[in-house]
Amino acid sequence: MTNRILLLTSLLLGLALASLPVRAAPPGIDHERNEIAIVMTQEPQWLNSIKATDQVSFIVLDHISEGLMTYNVDNQLIGGVAERWELTQERATFWLRKDARWSDGKPVTAHDFVFAWQQVANPANAAEYAFLMRAFPNGEAITKGEMPPESLGVEAIDDHTLVAHLVKPVAYFLELVTFISFRPVREDFFRQHGQRYAADPDKLLSNGPFIMTDWVHGASMRWEKNPHYWNREAINLDAINVPYMTEDPNARFNLYMDNRIAMATGLDSSATKMALRKRQNLRSFRDGSTFFIEFNHRDDRPTRNVNLRRAMQSVFDAGELTYKVIGLAGNLPAYTLFPDWLQGTDGRSLAEEYPPIMPELNDEKARAYLEAAKRELGLEEIPPLSLLLSDTPGSVKQAEYFQDVMRSKLGLDIRLDRQTFKQRLAKMTAGSFDLVAAGWGPDYNDAMTFADLFASWNLNNRGRYASAEYDDLVTRAQSTNDRALRNRLFGELQQVIFDDVVILPQYERGYIYVQSTEIEGVRRTRVGGDPNYNYARILERR
Amino acid sequence: MGTYIAKRLLSGIITIWFIATATFIGMHMVPGDPLMNDKAVTPEVRANLEKAYGLDKPLPVQYVIYLRNMLQGDFGISFTQQNRRVNDIIAEHFPVSATLGVLALLFAAIGGIAWGALTALYRNKLPDILIMFMVIICVSVPSFVFAALGQLAILQLNNLLGVSLLPVAGWGTFSHMLVPALVLGLGTMAYLTRLMRSSMLEVADMDYIRTARAKGLTPGRIFFKHQLRNAILPVVTVLGPSIAAITTGGFVVELVFAIPGLGRYFVQAVQQLDYTVIMGTTVFYGAFLVLMVIAVDILYGFIDPRIQVDKAVQ
Amino acid sequence: MQQILNPQADDFEPLSAASEREAIDRPSLSYWQDVWRRVRSNTRALASLYIVVGLLLFTLVGPVLWPVDPATQDLEQISQGPNLGLPALVIADEENVALLSLAEPGAATGTGLRVLGTPHSEGVNIAWDPVPGARAYQLYRHELFPSGDRDLGLPLVRVPAQSLSYLDRLGLETISYYYSVQPLFDDGTTGEYQTLEVSVEQAIRISDARERELGDGELTVGDSVRLEMHPLGTDYLGRDMLARLMWGARTSLFIGIVAPLIYVAIGLIYGGLSGYMGGRTDEVLMRFADFVIALPFLLFMILFKIAFGLGPGESGVMPMLVALVLLSWPATARLVRGQVLQLREESYISAARMMGASASYLVMRHMLPNLMGVLLVSLTFAIPTAIFIEAFLSFIGMGVVPPTPSWGSMCNDGIRTMLSHPHELIFPALFISVTVLAFNLLGDGLRDAMDSRLRGEQ
């Protein structure tokens, strides 16, 4: 009878093993086949460019699709599907390449863009980025379901000419169209697969440098060079494998050390130390996002009082947080909402043109502010304040530090409110917090992606900061293409944010990563999917 | 027998209904909003999303729809991966967890039986003490510590040998499964070792062993033919419940070794508040457990003539 | 029935002493005395008992003997290994606080790559000479001597050409670093790099030292003081590990002991009622218990844990406790019911019932004492399970909310720095292991001691 059980077990096991795809894991760099292997943090959630929202999907889509404009290896804006373009205050015109093709050989036409953009606006698709289509005439009415999607103010003059009419000037429109939501989608293919569009490799149509040829959900992907891509000469790799998906930075680093992947990003202090001991080639990269403590400015919250916020500003040391508490190279202490990579005029950066204002750290002054706050609020003591945070280890550590600083320097009782991703979002939106640890990453390569964040009409302004002065500055910056003027307005916004202590800037996020010395041409980017391997090249073995 | 099976299946179905209801209630108690994302959406978009998922209907209606779809074997569409059906997700990820679980159980069973026999053979001598010491460690160290150490050990081994003997993480081939399964099986192995040891010692005192010895059988024959065979029985009986526990308990190992199993998917779904995936996974696992238990009970009826299942219940 | 008594006079005569001579006697032991005797003779169980008592002392008395606040952060001593008080250099408050200080010409002697001032854990001020044509400088920091320009270490910062110094404050440890600076030219090429070895000394700002009352008497800049002692080291925010382990024990043992206590009690009442009532009630009650048992445990644990939701400042211990109780009681209920059903048939129960014993008498006098043994054993085994569950939930990020420490969450924090700071993992893991082990062995010992089959055996 024991034998029978054993037989049964081995039978079960055999069945299970037989059902698995048996495939040897590729090495990180395969010189013979001209392929590399990389890791992703998780499964791409949604490879439909109309609806994609997550970083991993952005990475994949940036390899398998291409917009009107794109970036070269040095992150300079170049034509993608568009060969020529013209941007005025009223409209943008794009002349498409005749040799741009889908992976089934058919040409990419202006109609594919028009269709895609209409679908983004179409309320039936409930795309989160539908608001981007408000740049075009009727866009807002369409997203509200008041007009049909076909009425979007974007037209295909012919197969290779696209005209996008603009409601108001969009200085950064050429940068904006590199964004995922502006990618082309071919109507017949989209309709053919309906709900299941982009769910599997055979339900995906690419016009980018690579084609997804294999996708085992949650486990692996393989992208092969697209033979129909117009610029295929510039693509060096024959294939990119994604044999692993893990959010564990230690696992990623271990995979790298085992030569299973070409690059491992997001090293923590322990992995960094190991990498140093093993003499690995370390690099750093800032992903362009800023992290800050956002205050709740609603009327029923003590944090509506500017003196309370000033008191916190006067004791919070972003440098100490970044260097000692986070303690990972690559991060930069932040003193403003605008990260230091934003462009200014005349080749200078915005930060050089309008340097961030450093708060004066002064405990005495802080206590004076606190007293003033108590008086103005009519309170004997400031009640306990809740600090909403996500459940990632890093944010917990930073919040514990913040809590201790406020307790020891101001006697404030900060209560940590740790929530899972969706619960935190729900609380943020409902406004049930006093402070929230938040961050913002750029959607496009322009300061406006940060600047309008605290405009009173912005739904992402979860603390409901409302200031006529702020709104006015944003509106003025939105209605001109004059770079110098816009930058001056951004400089003024920066001053308002500081004076009003709209937020407490903490740090600009950076990473330490290891990358094999046998490849080059990996593009790191702050907007869109990062990293990008389109132009990566395997070097000769040294 | 037929009526017995029918009866068990009926009660199984009621149990699954209970699990489904408990999941539905539990999940809707979770504060938070499954439709929210990093960037805020306009009220119109939100209303459309709610309609697409049927969240605009009152809860009792949602419950009825949910049960009706479930009866038809349809768990709906994932909230986070909106072009994938929960059925597909389960169909793709459960075999991975199951394979890992079965393999881990195999390790645990073989290791537990062998070690347990060994300890009994060398009772209170050095091998016994050493093995029992290891068993104690396996029982008392949290599994995530083992998982992290296991991965590190592979890396060190590979670096030492200069070749990639075993993969550090990932899934696909048998070599990928080896260490994760071993780590996953450690706890059960320790438990089985203890069980086997006491079972062996109990059998050793039995009259038939004394008789065999008196008959002049060789110690080896006594050990294998009489002692081991009889001692294995109680160990085998706990394998059934163990497999369910191991299969659903693989979260940690799946997380550390980047294995695309259902457990890891579930943790992600909870964090993302992916209603349909949470419900689908829980109900599926619940049903799996219930059916496993029924299957094991019925199987015993065939295996061991001393157990008469249909009578035992009445 | 009528009793027939016919006493005779000699019935009232005292017995002679001789009639007791043949009695075989041993001290009369109550059940619990017997159990205690057996546990005492079991070395492993006894040792475990001592460990359990020790753990309770550690938890309850520990914080009195080691009155260090587990929440006090010390950013001067992040992730320090076990020590008995590190020596530290007292430095001025304003030293090395500038964010990006420009080197003043001639401010420091020497040429090439050099350190301005004293290099210490609060900052290392690195300065270098200008390289003609350089657009910017890239500064690196290594822990080993660089072997080439691809092995310069951690890229710290890229500074524009007009800056010739950089104040490094990034996670400085008291070891030797190799700083390298490499000029970057306009055409994208890099120049020769220079390397400098710098030994970093532990330092403390004078106002901090005064506030924390370190050293004796008047402190001046340049003095050396001894920092607070951390026998088990510090964690990622410089908090004392020993104190955190003591306070963490409160969380872990609270969940570990209180949750099983509650659910064993519920199981006792539920199972007892079910078994005692029998019949239809029993069937309905047990069917419900079976339903709850059928729920996939870990999945529901996670679901319930987050379903209860947490407000700001709440540690999350209660939701975990409730979830654990909600899912765990049926096992005990089943066990108790089985026992009660068995006991009901015992002859002494029938005898007592026949003699007119009330229900409460039966329960209190016969049922409960006989159930105690089984309950105690299952309780002892439930404790390690609960502690493991707490650790597991912490590992997947759904455990107790910081700053409340718990062994599970400390383990989870420690596992990330396993290689660089092993003490942050080893100590909490050790405490979990020892506790789990002690309760398991104690459970084994208790079970053996209470097993009636073995009773009477020496």
Beta strand C134-142 pairing with A29-30: unpaired
pLDDT at residue A296 in the model: 94
Contact at CB, A384 and C71, closer than 8 angstroms: no
**C297 touches B: beta carbon within 8 Å:** yes
Residue A81, judged by CB atoms within 10 A of its CB (0-12, 13-18, 19+), counts as: buried
Flag if C312 and A417 touch (Cβ within 8 Å): yes
Q: What is the pLDDT of residue C456?
A: 42
Residues of B in contact with A4 (CB under 8 A): 303
Which pLDDT belongs to residue C19? 54
Determine contact, residues C281/C272, Cβ cutoff 8 Å: no
Tens digit of each residue's pLDDT, chain B (314 residues): 678 888 888 888 888 888 889 888 888 888 777 887 777 777 777 887 888 788 888 888 988 988 888 888 888 888 887 778 888 888 888 888 888 888 898 888 888 888 888 888 887 788 888 888 888 888 888 888 888 888 888 888 887 887 777 888 878 778 888 888 888 888 888 888 888 888 888 887 778 888 888 888 887 888 777 787 777 777 777 776 677 667 666 888 888 888 888 888 888 888 888 888 888 888 888 888 888 778 777 776 665 555 554 444 43
Question: What SS3 state is found at C19?
Answer: helix
Say if the Cβ atoms of B260 and A460 lie within 8 Å.
Answer: no
pLDDT the model gives residue C108: 46
With CB atoms and an 8 Å threshold, state whether C78 touches A324.
yes
- Tell me what pLDDT residue C22 has: 60
CB contact under 8 A, B170 and A244: yes
Measure C360 CA to nearest chain A CA, in Å. Answer: 48
pLDDT at C455: 44
The predicted pLDDT at position C104 comes to 46
User: What is the predicted pLDDT for the residue at A301?
Assistant: 92
pLDDT score at A25: 57
According to the model, what pLDDT value does residue B141 have?
83
> For residue A440, which of A429, A451, A428, A450 has the smallest C-alpha distance?
A450
Q: Is the pLDDT of residue A154 over 90?
A: yes
Residue A130: its pLDDT value, please? 86
Chain A (9-38) residues lying within 8 Å, Cβ to Cβ, of chain B: 9-10, 12-13, 16-17, 19-25, 27
A6-63 tens-digit pLDDT: 555 555 555 555 544 444 556 788 888 999 999 998 888 889 999 888 889 999 999 9
pLDDT of residue A230: 92
| CB contacts, 8 Å: B270 with chain C | 302-303, 306, 398
Tell me which residues of chain C have a C-beta less than 8 Å from any C-beta of chain A. 71-73, 75, 78, 99, 141-144, 147, 150-151, 153-156, 169-171, 236-237, 306, 309-313, 397-398, 401-403, 412-413, 416-421
**Does residue C393 sit in helix, strand or coil?**
helix
Q: What is the pLDDT of residue A4?
A: 52
Chain C CB contacts of B248 under 8 Å are 296-299
Residue scoring higher pLDDT (B172 or A265): A265
ipTM score assigned to the predicted complex: 0.84
How far CA C104 is from CA of C87, C107, C124, C181, in Å, comes to 32, 5, 16, 18
- What integer pLDDT is reported at residue A251 of this predicted model? 84
* Residue ranges in A150-196 assigned as alpha helix (H): 173-176, 187-193
Structure tokens given for A45: 């959630």
* CB contacts, 8 Å: A131 with chain B: 41-42
Determine the longest span between alpha carbons in chain A, in angstroms. 86
**pLDDT given for residue B15 in this prediction:** 87
Contacts of C178 in chain A (CB under 8 A): none
- The mean pLDDT of A105-116, rounded to a whole number, is 94
Which residue, among C51, C305, C396, would best test binding to B if mutated, counting the most B CBs under 10 Å from its CB?
A: C396
Chain Cα centroid distance, residue B120? 28
Contact flag A22-B159 (C-beta cutoff 8 Å): no
Q: How far is A11 from chain B (nearest CA, A)?
A: 11
The string of pLDDT tens digits covering residues C234-244 is 988 889 999 99
The strand ranges marked E within A97-201 are 154-158, 161-165
The list of chain C residues with pLDDT below 70 reads: 1-4, 15-27, 29, 95-111, 451-458
d(CA A213, CA A220): 11
Give the gap in angstroms from C-alpha B60 to the nearest C-alpha of chain C.
19
Nearest by CB to C153, from A276, A325, A328: name it.
A276
As a whole number of angstroms, the distance between CA B95 and CA B104 comes to 14
Contact at 8 Å (CB) between B145 and C437? no
Residue A334: CA count within 13 A, CB half-sphere = 27
Phi, psi torsion values for A442, nearest 5 degrees: -75, 140
Nearest CA in chain B to A271: B152
Task: Please give the distance of CA A315 from its chain centroid, rounded to a whole number.
Answer: 30
Give C62 to chain A, closest Cα distance, Å: 24
- Contact state of C298 with B249 under an 8 Å Cβ cutoff: yes
Average pLDDT over residues A290-295: 94
> Given pLDDT bands bounded at 50, 70 and 90, which one contains residue A314?
very high
Q: What is the pTM of this model?
A: 0.87
Beta bridge partners of A343: A349
Contact A404 C237 (CB under 8 A): yes
What pLDDT sits at residue C452? 53
